[in-house]
Amino acid sequence: MEERLLVEQRINEIAGDAETVELTLEIIDEAYRGLEEGLSEGVFERIKKRLDDAVQEIEGLADNIREMIWGG
Partner 1 sequence: MAPGLRLKEVKIRGFRGYGELEKTLDLTAPVTIIFGGNRSGKSSTLNALEWALYGKEVTGKGATGIVERKRGWLVVNRKCPSARVELTMSSEEGEIVVARESGRTGKKKEETFSFVDEKGRDYREDVDLWKFLGLEARDFMSLVYLHQEVIRDIVVSDPSVRRAALDRLLGVSDLRALFESLKRIRAKDYERRTEEIYRELERELGARSKSYQEQAENLRGRGIQKGLREEDFTEEMLVGLSDEVVNLLDSLAQRADIGVPEIKPLRDPEAYEDFKEEAKRIIHRLRSENPGAVSQRELMDLRERLSTAMAEYESKTQALKDLRKEKTELEKQGDLKALQALRNEYGAKRREIGERLKKINARLPVIAATIDYLSELEDKRSRIPCPACEQEIFPEELLERLRAVQEEIGEEGQALEKESRDLSEKARKLEKDIRHLEELVERKIPEAEEEERSLRESIGELLGITVTDADDARKLARDNLAEIEKGLEEARKVLERYNEDILSVEETLERAGIVHGVLEAERRIENIRTISDSPEWKSMNQARDRLNRMLDAVDRSRGAMEAVLKEKVRERLEEAEGRIKEYYRMLVERPDFESITIDPEDNEVYASSDGDAEKVVNFFNQGDMNCAALSIFLALGGGASHEYGPSFVILDDPSQSLDVEQKRRLARLIDKVASERQVLLATMDGELLQALQDEVAKAKVIYRLGEWGPQNGPSIVRE
Which residue type does 60 have?
A: G
CB 13 within 8 A of CB 24: no
Based on the shown chain and the rule CB under 8 A, indicate whether residue 54 belongs to the binding site for partner 1: yes
CB 28 within 8 A of CB 4: yes
Based on the shown chain and the rule CB under 8 A, indicate whether residue 49 belongs to the binding site for partner 1: no
Residues in contact with partner 1 by the rule CB under 8 A: 3, 6-8, 10-11, 14-15, 19-20, 23-24, 26-28, 31-32, 34-35, 39-41, 43-44, 47-48, 50-51, 54-55, 57-59, 61-62, 64-66, 68-70
